[in-house]
Amino acid sequence: APAVPPPLDPRIMGPAEKLAQRHFPGIPLVPNLLTAGTDGRYLSAAGIPTYGVPGIVLDPDGNGAHGVDERIRVKSVYDGRDYLYALIRAYAEGR
């Protein structure tokens, strides 16, 4: 079955956009379809909207994804961790 994008629910997108601006100023939050395999395939088919929020800024060259030189900056890992922690707290606290 073809992928069906989840609704851009403001309860999901609002906190994600607000915190993205705080953690990654000047970088817009742009929804896109991930063409890789995830559990979202099964959750969406069961009627559960599924969103992925990586929170990690990659280099323009793609970071050597899936190659012998795949890499990510240490700062990107820590920045992504901080963003995702704040986002999960915002969702849990209903902010």
Q: Domains in the chain and their CATH numbers? A: 10-92 (1.10.150.900)
Token representation of residue 65: 């994804």
Segment 13-19 shows an average pLDDT of 94
Instruction: Give the start-end residues of each E strand in 8-95.
Output: none
- 41 or 64: which carries more pLDDT confidence? 41
Cβ neighbours, 10 Å, residue 55: 21
pLDDT of 54-65, one tens digit each?
Answer: 788 877 777 777
- Whole-model pTM? 0.80
- Mean pLDDT computed over 45-53: 85
The tokens 């240490």 sit on which residue?
A: 74
Confidence (pLDDT) at 42: 85
Indicate the average pLDDT of the chain: 86
